[in-house]
Amino acid sequence: MSGEKTSLLILYTGGTIGMMQDPQTGSLVPFDFDNLYDHLPVLRNLDYQLDFYAFDNLIDSSNMTPDFWVRLAKKIESSYEKYDGFVVLHGSDTMAYTASALSFMLENLNKPVVFTGSQLPMGMVRSDGRENIIAAIEIAAAKDDDTAMVPEVTIFFENQLLRGNRTTKHNAEHFNAFVSGNYPSLADVGVRIKYNKEYIMKPNFKKLKLHTKLNNNVAILKLFPGITKEFVQHTLNTPNLKALIIETYGSGNAPTASWFIDGLKEAIDKGLIIYNVTQCKSGSVEMGRYETSLDLNRIGVLSGHDITTESAIAKLMYLLGEEYPTEKIKELLQMPIRGEITL
């Protein structure tokens, strides 16, 4: 598209950023993105072709589902050749899950898919939504020698661009709602946008490949002092369960009680995949570092290294949906396939 005006598709899924205050009732109502230029006239100063698409039946991100991920990924794929990049407006609560999922579903992505949202509705005076949208658009349009500057799925929020599958929402009130505890920011936005190119994925220029088969027979078991045998067994015996994420303490540690270890081993022997992810927002699972993780390693629990829980869920759904043999899934879980893990 060299020599042509940069074109972007802005996709609205729902969420706080798309709400305005009704001047008559004071209640929040959906924002009319067809009139975005009227609300954000500064966008006219950007020499881009901006198109807008709002999904039918807009949802609060707390109602996000894998089916909606498929709808979003299909829309990006069907529009892929027409646009230079994409901005996804999404509720912040599950944004990291959706961004993680799309990073796996959009194989060979060579264009930007920038997620953003806000903590306050666009129509409120102090809304962070305006700056987030403008910066996300600039980032999605940015090029380096006619190649997308950031050809991957990202989240932009409060002056930071983060890799989507490395990100977690960590604050429900502050504008800096997201953190990437184990991977540096891809760009920092101040007076200028400073791209940290050494951390950004390089394009492979292969044809985009869409994956839409997701298997959500997965679960999360978060450990806590006092967790009972009955609760653990009930979780392990969930009908049709294919994979279980255990959110462990620190660097991957767990109780050493025989009922706990024996229960996990029995489930693994029956074919359940168990994935060890730390409860910490930064740091990595290192099974065997302490005695309290030696047994997990011995019985076949897999290390998630420094993956986020959001990314672990999305990766498991993707790998299970691809119907790889169990041993292949176990191999892929312990290595980066979309930049989601550092070894």
Catalytic residues: 16
Contacts of 328 (CB under 8 A, 6+ apart): none
Q: Which helix (H) or strand (E) holds 197?
A: none
Measured CA distances, 254 to 84, 140, 277 (Å): 46, 42, 11
Which residue bears the tokens 């967790």?
227
- What's the CA gap between 107 and 208, in Å, rounded? 6
Say how far apart CA 252 and CA 260 lie, in whole Å: 15
Q: Are 132 and 118 in contact (CB under 8 A)?
A: yes
**DSSP string of 278-326?**
ESSSSS---TTSSHHHHHHHHHTPEE-TT--HHHHHHHHHHHHHTT--H
- Residue carrying structure tokens 């953003």: 116
Nearest to 320 by CA among 219, 234, 209: 219
Write the single-letter amino acid at 225.
P
